[in-house]
Structure 1
């Protein structure tokens, strides 16, 4: 009797071992399968696999008819031989590039990136500022910095959804920018037309193989600014933009850089880039993908990058 019970216990133990082994094996298979799915879904965005890039001559891409004044009958006729495109990256801090930037024929800036207090590194001159609809209120809150500079007559190009800043919509944001244009006569304020906004989308598709809307991508102000700079400049020197592989090769213990030079306690640059590049739910900027495109454009459109050089 005792032997029979012992045999049953042995068989039960053997079955438990087999069952446990099956559970472990199934778990490993599930994890392996999950990892493969994640690799496919959450792989870095970049250019679509096996996509043949369709080059676009940006010098003949759209012309100046894609810009509409908010007030009066001004035309967007800015044309420069040499341009300094100053990014908002914290990599510009400590460069002491201000004098070099100010000596450039045309200086291009983005959104609400300030110059006051940062002149040594980013200069003070502004020829063109490209502003996203989401940055308008931050600009308006500091008119002395951005709007009523007695030493300059900058062009400001506003971009955003046509239903927010388009001339046809004439919503609150449109009226605010129109009032700014009427109040500060030294400014030349333009919006990007709906047709040209669609061209910016199609350009992204042609260069990456990705449909902006289907891939839940938001074009960055950097994308608009670079394309506009190529349209109006013969030579472009970009200050503070990191290369596409910068965040992938950062070493443990390396200094963390704020995303914006004027927000030292703001989000960290590489964290922002990687989260946006890998994000699939909701809409995200594709900063790294855009920089891959810029690197291809560099030779074609006489673009150089400094601080860092690449």
Structure 2
């Protein structure tokens, strides 16, 4: 008798538990569908970048006033960084330059600016062959020095190379390993004019980022890119700048179903995808990251002030 009563008492409890499991499963499926729907629609809206802080009034900076000999120090001798040009071609490292056949136009420009270890040999049709100025990050020093025929000993030119990085590694006062290495290179190749950016000017680059975005570079865990340094230097030394291969700031926020992936560097076809790199760096809040999209939004504003145009793709 007691056994029968026990069974009748338990049946409602088991039914109630089953009912709860069904409800829980339904809620789980619904939430999963909502998450998937939201993730599929992220790219449908314009990507909201890291850029200007809310209610931040941008303070106009006259970058032409940055020009001067005090911001650059030679690694050897008493040379001055006095490169001045009316028209400049700034050739990015983006794979968007491939297939552009812009090499002849680039080489006809008075001054040609390149970045880091972006090569010309083998890519002349698209990126040209001439180099007037190369801006190199401390992290790319060894890659540049490993290929002297490409970057250092060019019989057809006398390029300027500006190295940037932490003063402790690249600065004259720090006299670190990289400083001594670049100094030896500068002494070996007489055709080169090698300069480092002074510690004071490095701080000014940080300050400029803060003024233009409302974000403190260090507190926001942001790394300035070589593109940031190169664009500012180009504005300093050039009356007009034509940029090859740089995409607009909203390029990676648009839906591109079935679009071809674009390698981050034109000379590394198996490298990471450009938009994936941009979005990962822009959206990350942990660790230090480049803010590529934010920087391009600033460049778009500067284009109106400093006679900057963009081609391949053309967007300004």
Report the TM-score when normalising by structure 2: 0.88
In structure 1, runs of 5+ residues without a counterpart are none
Q: How does 1:9-158 map to 2 (within 5 A)?
A: 9-10=11-12, 13-14=15-16, 17=19, 44-61=49-66, 63-158=68-163
Structure 1 residue 136, shift from structure 2 partner: 0.6
Q: How many residues align?
A: 303
Which moved further from structure 2: 249-258 or 114-123? 249-258
Tell me, in whole angstroms, the C-alpha distance in 2 between the residues paired with 1:19 and 1:262.
Answer: 55
Instruction: Describe the SS at the equivalent of 1:198.
Output: helix
Instruction: Describe the SS at the equivalent of 1:177.
Output: helix
Q: Is the 8 A contact 1:62 1:196 kept in 2?
A: no
Deviations 1:132-167, CA, capped at 9 Å, x for gaps = 001110111100000110110111100000000110
Matched, 1:290 2:295: yes
Q: Is the 8 A contact 1:220 1:285 kept in 2?
A: yes
Tell me, in whole angstroms, the C-alpha distance in 2 between the residues paired with 1:223 and 1:121.
Answer: 23
- Give the match for residue 207 of structure 1: 212
- Give the match for residue 307 of structure 1: 312
Q: Which of residues 183, 187, 191 is equivalent to 2:196?
A: 191
Instruction: Describe the SS at the equivalent of 2:228.
Output: helix
Q: How does 1:154-303 map to 2 (within 5 A)?
A: 154-303=159-308
Tell me, in whole angstroms, the C-alpha distance in 2 between the residues paired with 1:27 and 1:200.
Answer: 50
Tell me, in whole angstroms, the C-alpha distance in 2 between the residues paired with 1:241 and 1:8.
Answer: 70
Q: Is the 8 A contact 1:258 1:268 kept in 2?
A: yes
Structure 1 residue 6, shift from structure 2 partner: 3.9
Tell me, in whole angstroms, the C-alpha distance in 1 between the residues paired with 2:121 and 2:301.
Answer: 34
Deviations 1:201-254, CA, capped at 9 Å, x for gaps = 010011111111111111000000000000000100000000011111141210
Instruction: Describe the SS at the equivalent of 1:49.
Output: coil
Tell me, in whole angstroms, the C-alpha distance in 2 between the residues paired with 1:235 and 1:62.
Answer: 15
Tell me, in whole angstroms, the C-alpha distance in 2 between the residues paired with 1:214 and 1:27.
Answer: 40
Tell me, in whole angstroms, the C-alpha distance in 2 between the residues paired with 1:23 and 1:93.
Answer: 51
In structure 2, the CA distance between the partners of 1:265 and 1:8, relative to structure 1 (3 Å rule), is closer
Tell me, in whole angstroms, the C-alpha distance in 1 between the residues paired with 2:78 and 2:62.
Answer: 28
Tell me, in whole angstroms, the C-alpha distance in 2 between the residues paired with 1:12 and 1:262.
Answer: 65
In structure 2, runs of 5+ residues without a counterpart are none
Q: Is the 8 A contact 2:72 2:197 kept in 1?
A: yes
CA RMSD after TM alignment:
2.7
Runs of 4+ residues over 2 Å off in structure 1: 1-29, 61-64
Q: Is the 8 A contact 2:84 2:238 kept in 1?
A: yes
Q: Is the 8 A contact 2:67 2:237 kept in 1?
A: no
Structure 1 residue 180, shift from structure 2 partner: 0.8
In structure 2, the CA distance between the partners of 1:139 and 1:54, relative to structure 1 (3 Å rule), is same
Instruction: Describe the SS at the equivalent of 1:108.
Output: strand
Deviations 1:164-215, CA, capped at 9 Å, x for gaps = 0110111111011001111111111100000000000010011111111111
